[in-house]
Amino acid sequence: MFEIGADDVPGHFLSTRSSVPPMLARVLEPEVMDSPQEALEYDTMDHSAVNADFAETLCALIGGTAPATPLLDVGAGTALIPIEICRRLAQARVVALDLSRAMVELGRRRVAEAGLARRIELHLVDAKAMPYADGAFDVVISNSIVHHIPEPRRVIREMARVLRPGGALLVRDLLRPDDEATLDALVARYAGGASAHQRALFEASLWAALTVDEVRALVAEVGHAPDGVQQSSDRHWTWTIRPAC
């Protein structure tokens, strides 16, 4: 893993004043979890509470009614969140994409097991260069992909590009802690009962995550209001664009 360079995050995030303790520097993790074992390790971690909260937040954002067109899930992993959404919104359809072939293959099995193969389609697609027209989707969602991307402005730009003007967006990801003590405490709290490998994955993801200020700067670059990005838990930030009335 490598520390992030000045080209990846706006420069003022890399400087500190002497009176302020330096924040943790971002340390990259692999962009793609592409082995069957890694996909299974991810899939068997207990994401149930986080996924349910994400699905409920989306339902509230769009008024409890599924859009007439499919919504887009960027970095869907094994499709656990699309399944949660379709269980809550009877008419919802989801186009889900991921860059990991192992994740897509396992996700297709999970979708079939849930009886949702007609409503959720998974595609092997790079979120940094999506093959969709500008404004193609009324609703764009993403959970925990941004921290995987070495140059996160590319995926932020793409999600903004494919969202229809006036559409709804919900992006959530991990938040890089201020210091190692906080990071260690989060790993103990949320992955203490997981396997050693799963704990290591979670720790690496926290190191690779962005801060709220870093995300706000990237969101402003693509022409959206930076205050749409807020810390939403002790380990997450959320970027929300509310649909036009």
CATH fold of the domain at 25-241:
Rossmann fold (3.40.50)
Domain ranges for the chain: 25-241
Local confidence pLDDT in tens for the 245 residues of the chain: 322 233 333 333 333 333 445 689 999 999 998 898 989 988 988 889 999 999 999 999 999 999 999 999 999 999 999 999 999 999 999 999 999 999 999 999 999 999 999 999 999 999 999 999 999 999 999 999 999 999 999 999 999 999 999 999 999 999 999 999 999 999 999 999 999 999 999 999 999 999 999 999 999 999 999 999 999 999 999 999 999 97
Instruction: Classify residue 17 by its DSSP letter.
Output: -
Helix count and strand count (H, E) for the chain: 8, 7
Q: How many of the other CB atoms lie within 10 Å of CB of 139?
A: 25
Q: How many of the other CB atoms lie within 10 Å of CB of 48?
A: 10
| Residue 17 confidence (pLDDT) | 35
CA distance linking residue 105 with residue 113, whole number of Å: 13
Asked if residue 206 lies in contact with residue 173, where contact means CB atoms within 8 angstroms, the answer is no
CA distance linking residue 89 with residue 64, whole number of Å: 7
| Residue 227 confidence (pLDDT) | 98
CA distance linking residue 161 with residue 227, whole number of Å: 19
pTM: 0.90
